[in-house]
Structure 1
Amino acid sequence: MKLFYMPGACSLAPHIALCEAGLPFDLVQVDRSKKTSTGEDYLTINVKGAVPAVKLDDGQVLTEAAVIQQYIADKAPAKKLAPAAGTPERYRLQEWLNYIASELHKGIGQLFNPAMPDDYRDTVKKGLAAKQFAHLEKSLAGREYLLGDFTVADGYLFTVLNWTKFHKIDLSAFPNITAFMTRVAARPAVKAAMTAEGLLKAA
């Protein structure tokens, strides 16, 4: 299996999941010009041009973080990174993965647009705090992770919320979120993935 990634991008989520799952994989970095570290044109691998993408051993390519997260979890069922397919808990996982993708990933991700006017940027940040962050804060009350135990949804949430540092979004008003971020960051698999991407210094 090959994971195509950009350091710190949403591809960090499946990178974390692969480390948590203990599955063998190769990392292939993609640069801004859509060239891979192995010299390939990334658009021939994923025509959408975005990371992550996972190339399976049979040559098939999976894209979209929420889907890849579930694939990885299902390849290592003993790690319990996702509830069993068909259970009510699995649908709760999918509910969170879709919420993270549509509300948080897109919400925070749009701030990377350098052409966004400052006044609109401030409006987006205020909207995130009032709606999405407030919802997360309530949802994490009294629990360590989104579904109680760590799942692939937590790795995805951590990855997206980690972008708040880049955009200078202060999360101190949300103690449950900040505790969650500290908790996930301390996991060995998360440290391993972030170190491999150059986001943390090697110990």
Structure 2
Amino acid sequence: MRLVPRVSMESSPYFQLAGPSDACRAVPGGAITDVHVHFTPDENKVYSHELVCVSGEERIVVPIRAIPARAILDFPDELDFSKCPVKGSTRKSLLIQNCGSVAAHYQLSTESPFSVVPAEGILGPGHTMQVTVGFHPLTSDDHFGSLVARCTGEESFFTFLRAEAADVNIGLSTYSLKVEKTFITTSSHTSMFIRNRSNITTHFQWKMFPTEEADNEEKRRLV
């Protein structure tokens, strides 16, 4: 006696076998038949079910999954700033595309010394936007971070950030000054120069302490 394979599906309010019988379907040996499944969702979520084919002792399960329309942001895997000046601001542009089928309500975030603008917004399906990632290091070192994009109801997307902060060739004409003898009620002055031997325009400010941390500590002490 030849066993006739039978295709069946458990009762579900969302998935039904199309045809005269929704419970079971016989497939004659050597024949090919189409199996049609009707899907009737009632909300925007992921659905799953199983289609079962039984022939004698053999049982084949075909998973069925229905995934709703979603936003998919296409991010580069890595953004490298290369070598940047300490206490300088370096910016790079990043193109992001929504490869999904619905609008992406996104929020972008990162950690110091990196920054990103704009930090939030809406990107339509198939559209591309430009964001600006900034790097403002306060110490000379290798810096690493992540740019994280979070979309409403979706998984997060990441871009790895790397940068090297280095001191540029900027110095003073002298590192000590001798003030000549000055009489009471009179004044005297002397001169020194700041020499910028790099190709980077630098902004300077005179402070009492050599580091920003020490300067902030003194301000907190006085307060």
TM class, shorter-chain normalised?
under 0.3
Higher Rg: 2
Q: Which has the higher contact order (CA 8 A, sep 6+)?
A: 1
Higher helix proportion: 1
